[in-house]
Structure 1
């Protein structure tokens, strides 16, 4: 069993293959956290609790004269506000009588077979590995508020997923003002924090900082998980590297406002609380109503950041992603956006498709501009019918022409948005999120539809479904091109307006579920101005997300590097684009752009008709190479060999097949130097007993030599050169 309850000592232990998580029902029913780390056997870890009297840290009334018992110093599983713990908490409730306190004490626990399902929210599910669920019931007796804590254990993947439910068992309405998903307590402050910050077109840039006394917080108030901060943080030992040191990874399965609060307190203990951002959150609970939090994934690695990442990659691919394209090979595509923007017609699109087909590309994706009066980003959003001025034969004729070339067809949508210059807005202005009496904040000249309303979702589903049914559409890129503000729903009473942000996210999940279940053969790709909603929850509905609107091959090295700490390569949408690059103006060799884009779901963003004959041959070779490497890239183990950050002159990464018979090394030189030493690095993940042949020159190496002594190559000359090296086992 993964979950063990010691009734005599009131200790609950969660065991995974490599880790142990332990908690204890302490004095007076206080649920205490004891330990999370490398696996231990047959030991109650309460010896780690050293209680003492700390000045200005008060004591529960139950403790009588015992001044060593204080909620302000004890490590807890789910701390609450207003009862003598002055650190960051997980739950803040305004009770029916206006008071602001809730003191949850242990009632009981239950072990259930299978993974817990959260109503209306994406979460991990049973697949090839069955989860096991622990449910802990707690109660605030004076108010009859009930709290349920859920721990889902995936033992073989070393993952524990946590969420919470609060139920109003009283007679009056209560208002949630903070409700986090989980808390993790660590006994000392000797940790560093890694988080992933950024901006539009430069997302998920790694930053590593030492902890300070006080609170460090990362999060989003933008209505989405955002370009600016990704909903995942890492705590690691100062000596942690890819292969050595301790680290804890926490990743929230949620697409809206979030917060990760990391506090080192007066006693040097560390508390991490993760969940919905409380600043923009309220939720009213009438008697009998309940609220469920998003799920938080946690993993521990005692052997470095690489092992932590592998745990997340495995659980996301197997127990979060769903649908036909979860493991099926995805087509290599050409997207017309950077080739045409809004200026296209049927002939131009067919011309791009024709050239793409000759080079072996398998799908054409028609991006923004095919619907309504959409000739710029100032009009037409919300009018989901084909613009027959551009596509004379409608969508059906275009798709038939593309299919005749032997290619599949995909299309771009932005269902959550509306332009004021649109038929939809003129007919339903109250469907947009705007505040009465105030002019709204525009972004990209568009407003946000109120997705908390079922009639809005019904319109979007019905109108876009009609388009998808009108032709042989096999791929949909779902975009979302602004942050959310002016948050007011015309159908909610004033006391519930604090619920709109969260209800919006629930509405998006409902709409995505309707689309993916109604069109199971369509490959859906998530997007939000690129990586503005690159989070685990979106991967529950679409197995890949457009990684960034920045398609520059050199910038993408850093973006894709940061992305890899939580997300598998199969989740990354990555394409080769034209030069000079449209975001940076940089000129990077076509070969290098291809190597970088192969760290994901591969495609092109350019007009292939503008390439020289030599360049077309390069594209043709890239397409064939990617098809040959596909299983290795998408299904193999991923290793970061050299970082694009810091003073390194090159970036390198590696894929290894599950049976360790093949490996592919990818390398991009970002700073060519005169009279430079060789580039040297060690491979990882191979079988030390196997012998491997380098396919490019036939040389033979042992796995132990490649991993322990490494390999070196001469510095390659030129602007941003790249290399790929494939090794195969020999008998």
Structure 2
């Protein structure tokens, strides 16, 4: 299972397999620790297909992406049935299954990862047995890459298997079928799977399709998924790279429809009480110029949604254009984060009237749906317009984190504008424009980070995650009474693959159980984000303590992850995690006795420690510490919590290492 044997793709050209009508050449370029090279396929009519491959030798992983370009002088032939991955992955035979008995251990399965759906069990891994002749299929919903399903897969057969990720922020699909010698995997853009139609390229036209990442493994799922987290952290994420922050941010949120003087007063109080926030986050509602602007104290009131697409600062709320707010943010020692949704606009906002040709529409017959338009990022003029708008806001408002949301299913818009023999064109060009937009912003502003939101975490794929961090992984947290145990569930599932993601810590002050349930590599607090006051009687000491505890634990959340109590969605279980830094042999252990659990104690087995080493564990609540042998901790670490709905946090580090003879 080596990376250099895994790079298969396929498509048809004028209904013939590409291998029959294209000539192949290879260009090799070396990098220090991996190998990047291109395989170019050329057709005599001028169509060229380039597969750019990167092998990450440290992880035995391989990544590739396809580009189609017409370098001829006439329209290309018809390109169809494009499968960006079309590869049989070798696996030995499964154990024999006896009718009427359970499936034997070591039987090949594929684990799908449930996407964001505003439900309790988001990001749950769902195993499906791979049976010969029956394809297990999966696709996202509505053109957002992690709506319903996330494009991360684990083909597992006991200790061996393959982790697979699709890099596409539009409508992908994937198929997995057991074969005589392994598992056939086929992935690509759903719109390009049509057997009867596809797309042609005009002279000089170029498009790209989805990227693919493969990580083979043979030492078990747990190690494989930590290897994947390390690969994402080292090679894909911008966090920790030169010029960018070393960690995800700790944010203090204010709703954008609140008046500037209210926001300023809360920023001053945060500084006065030394609460330790790093970014001030202004969410939606701050924009749009209208003579009839309504009061808008939260996301459930006012007309802020109808002003989406008008990115002028609303003078009704912010007479000076937010500049005084930004000045107060900087005086308080914080950075500024601002919400946008540049891909969507409501019919009637200025740009939709001045340049209707820049926008895509759908015709559903529902006025509430059809009033929403999509800015066509495949249109060069539209792209240039929104790039200039964003650059102006980032420069003049000193934005350090640009938050981009996307609250609509976009697939019907693309489909409505495609024509015969041009299937998928609008989707491919829009997504390429989105990537170019983010790449251009990151290049122009070397300090900038991008928060990737789409009704929560509905655009989580390796292309987006290589350019951004998800600070708000689920809109489940939007409700005032969001169950903190759901944050535990979401964090457990998504951490199986991703080192960087975060969520909101809720609106209930003084609730340590809820606050810790939301721990991750980033966090946002909305304790004083809406119309509620921020007086001297507020529990500021508790907030200060929790923020300090979070920042002490935060560096570990991007290290190796271990789920210590399995994955459960009920209220009667315990749950717990360990994050371990193998470089320093230290980490954190978090344990939660859920709200209806009858058990006062849980026996956890820590991972990643060294036999014969002595570790010191400190209780974050009491300051008490104990020293234990690593092998003993990996055999049993008992945590006792007398009351349901309570938690423990332990910091540990090695104090005595193994002495080699």
Please tell me the TM-score bracket, short chain as reference: 0.7 to 0.9
Q: Which residue of 1 aligns with 2:123?
A: 204
Q: Which residue of 2 aligns with 1:561?
A: 492
Could you tell me whether the CA contact under 8 Å between 1:184 and 1:273 is conserved in 2? Answer: yes
In 2, the alpha carbon distance for the partners of 1:721 and 1:317 equals: 31
How do residues 289-308 of structure 1 correspond to structure 2 at under 5 angstroms?
A: 292-308=208-224
Could you tell me whether the CA contact under 8 Å between 1:204 and 1:227 is conserved in 2? Answer: no
* DSSP-derived class of the 1:537 partner: helix
Cα deviation digits, residues 208-263 of structure 1 (max 9, x gap): 121233221111252220321111111112xx4xxxx2221100122111111112
Instruction: Quote the offset at 1:426 in angstroms.
Output: 2.1
Find out whether 1:645 has 2:574 as its counterpart: no
Name the CA shift for 1:232/1:325 in 2 (closer, same or farther; >3 Å): farther
Find out whether 1:113 has 2:29 as its counterpart: yes
In 2, the alpha carbon distance for the partners of 1:331 and 1:176 equals: 44
Could you tell me whether the CA contact under 8 Å between 2:23 and 2:43 is conserved in 1? Answer: no
Q: Which residue of 1 aligns with 2:591?
A: 667
In 1, the alpha carbon distance for the partners of 2:352 and 2:23 equals: 52
1:183 to 74, 83, 86: 86
1:627 to 524, 538, 551: 551
- Between 246-255 and 161-170, report the one with greater CA deviation: 161-170
Q: Which residue of 1 aligns with 2:189?
A: 276
* DSSP-derived class of the 1:411 partner: strand
Name the CA shift for 1:492/1:22 in 2 (closer, same or farther; >3 Å): closer
In 2, the alpha carbon distance for the partners of 1:500 and 1:271 equals: 29
Cα deviation digits, residues 132-171 of structure 1 (max 9, x gap): 1355566789x89766555421111221113345566887
* DSSP-derived class of the 2:576 partner: strand
Per the normalisation by structure 1, the TM-score is: 0.76
Q: Which residue of 1 aligns with 2:230?
A: 314
Q: Which residue of 2 aligns with 1:687?
A: 610
* DSSP-derived class of the 1:275 partner: strand
Q: Which residue of 1 aligns with 2:653?
A: 728
Instruction: Quote the offset at 1:463 in angstroms.
Output: 2.0
Could you tell me whether the CA contact under 8 Å between 2:247 and 2:521 is conserved in 1? Answer: no
2:392 to 466, 470, 477: 466
Find out whether 1:345 has 2:259 as its counterpart: yes
Instruction: Quote the offset at 1:326 in angstroms.
Output: 5.0
Instruction: Quote the offset at 1:173 in angstroms.
Output: 2.2
Could you tell me whether the CA contact under 8 Å between 2:251 and 2:280 is conserved in 1? Answer: yes
Instruction: Quote the offset at 1:295 in angstroms.
Output: 2.1
Q: Which residue of 2 aligns with 1:263?
A: 177
Name the CA shift for 1:92/1:613 in 2 (closer, same or farther; >3 Å): farther
How do residues 90-239 of structure 1 correspond to structure 2 at under 5 angstroms?
A: 90-93=10-13, 95=14, 99-104=15-20, 110=26, 112-114=28-30, 130-133=33-36, 135-136=38-39, 149-165=51-67, 173-185=76-88, 186-187=90-91, 188=93, 190-202=107-119, 203-212=122-131, 213-237=133-157
Q: Which residue of 2 aligns with 1:533?
A: 459
Instruction: Quote the offset at 1:555 in angstroms.
Output: 1.0
How do residues 4-15 of structure 1 correspond to structure 2 at under 5 angstroms?
A: none
Q: Using CA pairs below 8 Å that are at least 6 residues apart, which structure has the higher relative contact order?
A: 2
Give the unaligned 5+ runs of structure 2. Answer: 95-106, 294-301, 657-661
Instruction: Quote the offset at 1:515 in angstroms.
Output: 1.6
In 1, the alpha carbon distance for the partners of 2:494 and 2:225 equals: 10
* DSSP-derived class of the 1:665 partner: strand
How do residues 301-700 of structure 1 correspond to structure 2 at under 5 angstroms?
A: 301-322=217-238, 324=242, 326=244, 328-337=246-255, 343-357=257-271, 358=273, 359-373=275-289, 375-434=302-361, 442-443=368-369, 446-487=372-413, 495-496=421-422, 498-551=424-477, 552=482, 553-568=484-499, 571-579=500-508, 590-607=511-528, 609=533, 615-634=539-558, 636-645=559-568, 649-674=573-598, 676=599, 678-696=601-619, 697-700=624-627
Q: Which residue of 2 aligns with 1:20?
A: 2
Q: Which residue of 1 aligns with 2:659?
A: none
Cα deviation digits, residues 576-601 of structure 1 (max 9, x gap): 1114xxxxxxxx97212222222221
In 1, the alpha carbon distance for the partners of 2:220 and 2:474 equals: 27
Cα deviation digits, residues 336-356 of structure 1 (max 9, x gap): 24xxxx641012212332333
Q: Which residue of 1 aligns with 2:97?
A: none
In 1, the alpha carbon distance for the partners of 2:501 and 2:52 equals: 30
Give the unaligned 5+ runs of structure 1. Answer: 1-18, 24-35, 37-76, 80-89, 115-125, 580-587
In 2, the alpha carbon distance for the partners of 1:597 and 1:329 equals: 16
Instruction: Quote the offset at 1:680 in angstroms.
Output: 0.8
Find out whether 1:703 has 2:605 as its counterpart: no
- Between 443-452 and 307-316, report the one with greater CA deviation: 443-452
Instruction: Quote the offset at 1:429 in angstroms.
Output: 2.6
Name the CA shift for 1:701/1:548 in 2 (closer, same or farther; >3 Å): same
Could you tell me whether the CA contact under 8 Å between 1:364 and 1:410 is conserved in 2? Answer: yes
Name the CA shift for 1:168/1:399 in 2 (closer, same or farther; >3 Å): closer
Instruction: Quote the offset at 1:269 in angstroms.
Output: 4.8
In 1, the alpha carbon distance for the partners of 2:458 and 2:268 equals: 32
* Count, aligned residues: 607
Instruction: Quote the offset at 1:717 in angstroms.
Output: 0.8
Could you say what the CA RMSD is over the residues aligned between the two structures, in angstroms?
Answer: 3.2
Instruction: Quote the offset at 1:327 in angstroms.
Output: 5.4
- Between 510-519 and 172-181, report the one with greater CA deviation: 172-181
Instruction: Quote the offset at 1:311 in angstroms.
Output: 2.0
Instruction: Quote the offset at 1:526 in angstroms.
Output: 0.9
Name the CA shift for 1:603/1:22 in 2 (closer, same or farther; >3 Å): closer
Cα deviation digits, residues 617-653 of structure 1 (max 9, x gap): 221111111222232334x322222233267712211
Name the CA shift for 1:137/1:153 in 2 (closer, same or farther; >3 Å): same
Could you tell me whether the CA contact under 8 Å between 1:652 and 1:666 is conserved in 2? Answer: yes
Could you tell me whether the CA contact under 8 Å between 2:85 and 2:187 is conserved in 1? Answer: yes
Cα deviation digits, residues 80-124 of structure 1 (max 9, x gap): xxxxxxxxxx3233x1xxx4554448966646233xxxxxxxxxx
